[in-house]
Structure 1
C-alpha cells in the first residue's frame, strides 16, 4: 500500500465578499419584507463575510461545476498538467443537476483527457467522502494521483423568487405569508466556493501533508432526517420525496428549498460529534497531545463552545489555541469548507514538519461525521 500525500491545495471564491448588510440585496426579500430571522441567525453564527456566485441582481455568475473547475485549474502548472490527472473525485450538496453527476460535469468543463470520475453526494461530508475515494485509490495503487474537490453553490437556491409561489399560496389560504424558520434560517447560513486537493503517492514541493487515516460514522440508524431538500417531513417524522408530490406542490410548498430541523440540530449535532471523534481517536490510537491543529467544520460560531466542552467532558479536550477556523471571513461552504480552511492553513506559514492536523467534519442531514489525520512532511 502506498503512502498518500496532499501536495497542492487550491481554492476559488467567486466575486467580491458580501457583508451581512449586503446579503439581502443579493438574495432578495421574500414578499418584499425584511427577514425576521436574519439578524438572529447572523448574531449567532458569527459570519461577517461570505461569497456568492451571483450578481447583485440575483443573476448567476458561475455554475457549481465552473466554481469547482476554477479551483482545480489552480492546481495545474508545469509539474502537474491537466493531462496528468488520473482520477477526479468531487463532492457537493448542491449539484447543478439531478443528473448527470457533478463530477462528470466538472470534467466536461475541464475538457482535459479521459479520466476516472467519482461523485460524492450528501451534505458537508460529501467533500470528505470525495477525498476518501481519492485517498483509497492512490493508497491501493489504482492511480498514482487524484484530484479531489469540495464545493457549493447554494446562493442560487436561496434567492427570494424561489419562495414567491409558496407565499402566494399562503395568502390564498388566508395564512400569514411568511416562510417557515426551517427554510429562512438557512438563507443566512450558506455560502459559495470550491476547494481542490492534489493527492499523489510521493511528497513533492517544499511541504506536503501525508494522509495517515480517514474515518466516517453515520447515526442514521437511530436519528431522523435533520437537513434536507427535494422533499418534506410528514407528521411521523419520515421524509416524503419530491417525486411523490404533484408538480404544483413543488412550488406551493417550496419542496426543493433547503430546510433544517433546528431542534434536532441543537439536540444531536454536538453529542454525536463528540462520540464519533472519540471513536476515531481510540481506533487509531491518538490522544489530544497528538493533534497540533484541529480544523473543525462548524456551521455556526454558536456551536464552538459547546463542542469544546463536549470534548473536555469526554476526556479528549483539545486546547482552543489549536483550533483553526475561517468561518467568520469565508462563511459556511458546506462540502467545500474543510478544503478552504486547510488551504488557508497550508499557505499561512504556521505549519512545521512533523506536526499533525485533524480534519473534523459533521453533517446534520442525518448526522454523519468524517475525520482525517494528516502529518506535515
Structure 2
C-alpha cells in the first residue's frame, strides 16, 4: 500500500470575529431581553470570540457549501493550477444548507475550476470531519486516489438566532450549582461558530517544507449502548428514543422548536469523557504508542469545562499528558463542530513550530450518540 500524507491545510472564517459582548447583536434577544445565563455559560466554556456567516440583521453572507469551497481553494492559493488535479472531494458537515442534494456536491458546485471527480458526503456531527478525512486517507492509502481533499464546515448561526428558540430557561441557581445544566439549547447559543477547514491528502510528502504522515485513524461508536444525547430535527421521548420531525405536524414543529439543537445534559456529564477516552487508552496500547511519544495533543473541546475532566482521566489512568503538549484554539474561534479539528491542525501546521519526527495526536469526541475519532500523525 501507498503511504498517505497531509501536505496542505487551509481554513476559512467568515467576516470579522464576534466578541462575547457582541453576540446578542447577531443572535438577537429572547423576549427582547438580554440572557441572564449567558455570563455563566461563557465563564464555563471559556470562549472569547467566534465567527458568524451572517450580518447583525440575520442576513446570510455565505452558505455552508460556499465556505467549504473557499477553504478548499485556500489549499491551492500558491499554486492555483493544482486544483484541477483533485481526484476526490470528501465533504462533511452537521449543518448542510439543504436536505438534498448532498452537501458534497453543493461544495463541488462552488468549485468550477475542478474536474468531474468523485464526491462523498459523510454525515454526523463533530466526528463527521474525521470521517471525511479517513475516506480521503483510505483512498490514497489503497492507491485509488493521488490527490484527495477532505473538508469540514459548519453554518449553525441561523438556528441560534432568537426567533428559533422557545422562552429562555432561567435557572441561575441550578446553573451555579451544576454547570452541566447549562448544556442545553441556551448553552449551545454561546458556543457554536461558523467556518470551514480543508486538508490535501497525497501519496508523497512535500518536496519542500513539512508534511504530516498519517499513521492511523481509529473511531468507535457507543450508540449500541447509549441513547442520543444531542439532537436536531427530532424530539426526545420519555423512553429515550427520538421522534423525527417527519412525524410532527408543521404546527408542532414550530411549537416544540424541533429544529433547534438540544442536548440531554445529564447524559453528557455522565458519559462524554469516560467512554471515549477509555477507548483511546486501549487504542494506544494496541498500537504500541506511549503518551511520551506524543509532542502535541489536539483535543476537540466543546467547552474548556471538559479540559480538566479529560486531564484528570488521563492522570487517573496512568497516561498523563503534560499541559504544555495540549493545543486548542477554542478560545479564539469557538466550537466549529466538524471543522474544529481542521482549524486546530491548520494553526499548528502553519505555525512554523513543527519539527520532523514529532507526533501529533488528534482526539474528537462527539456527544450526539457518543462517537469518537482518534488519529496519530508524524511530521516529516
* TM-score normalised by the chain length of structure 1: 0.94
Q: Find the aligned partners of 1:167 and 1:294 in 2 and give their Cα distance.
A: 39
Partner of 1:175: none
Partner of 1:286: 289
1:182: Cα distance to partner?
Answer: 2.2
Partner of 1:355: 358
Q: Is 2:71 the partner of 1:71?
A: yes
1:167: Cα distance to partner?
Answer: 5.1
Kept in 2, the 8 Å contact 1:360–1:372? The answer is yes
Equivalences for residues 303-318 of structure 1 within 5 A: 303-318=306-321
Structure 1, gaps ≥5 residues long: 169-179
Cα separation, partners in 2 of 1:324 and 1:357, compared to 1, 3 Å: same
Q: Find the aligned partners of 1:36 and 1:226 in 2 and give their Cα distance.
A: 25
Q: Give the alignment partner of residue 227 of structure 2, picking from 215, 224, 229.
A: 224
Q: Find the aligned partners of 2:191 and 2:164 in 1 and give their Cα distance.
A: 17
Q: Residue by residue, what CA displacement relative to the aligned partner does 1:68-98 show, whole Å, maximum 9, x if unpaired?
A: 0110001114376221100000111111111
Q: Residue by residue, what CA displacement relative to the aligned partner does 1:148-171 show, whole Å, maximum 9, x if unpaired?
A: 0111111111111223xx559xxx
Q: What SS does the corresponding residue of 2:342 show, helix, strand or coil?
A: helix
Equivalences for residues 11-26 of structure 1 within 5 A: 11-26=11-26
Q: Find the aligned partners of 2:107 and 2:243 in 1 and give their Cα distance.
A: 30
1:181: Cα distance to partner?
Answer: 6.9
Q: After superposing the two structures, state which structure 1 stretch, 17-26 or 51-60, moved more.
A: 51-60
Partner of 1:102: 103
Cα separation, partners in 2 of 1:117 and 1:267, compared to 1, 3 Å: same
Cα separation, partners in 2 of 1:361 and 1:16, compared to 1, 3 Å: same
Q: Find the aligned partners of 1:69 and 1:198 in 2 and give their Cα distance.
A: 13
Partner of 1:119: 121
* TM-score normalised by the chain length of structure 2: 0.93
Partner of 2:143: 141
Equivalences for residues 1-377 of structure 1 within 5 A: 1-76=1-76, 77-78=78-79, 81-111=82-112, 112-163=114-165, 166=166, 182-204=184-206, 205-377=208-380
1:36: Cα distance to partner?
Answer: 2.6
Partner of 1:177: none
1:185: Cα distance to partner?
Answer: 1.6
Instruction: Name segments (4+ residues, structure 1) moved above 3 Å.
Output: none
Structure 2, gaps ≥5 residues long: 169-181
Aligned-pair Cα RMSD in Å = 1.4
Q: Residue by residue, what CA displacement relative to the aligned partner does 1:88-136 show, whole Å, maximum 9, x if unpaired?
A: 0011111111111111100011122200011011100000000000000
1:316: Cα distance to partner?
Answer: 1.3
Kept in 2, the 8 Å contact 1:37–1:181? The answer is no
1:307: Cα distance to partner?
Answer: 0.3
Kept in 2, the 8 Å contact 1:274–1:314? The answer is no
Q: Residue by residue, what CA displacement relative to the aligned partner does 1:334-365 show, whole Å, maximum 9, x if unpaired?
A: 10000000000011121100000001000000
Partner of 1:173: none
Cα separation, partners in 2 of 1:80 and 1:268, compared to 1, 3 Å: farther
Q: What SS does the corresponding residue of 2:110 show, helix, strand or coil?
A: helix
Q: Residue by residue, what CA displacement relative to the aligned partner does 1:229-264 show, whole Å, maximum 9, x if unpaired?
A: 000101111111111111111111110111111111
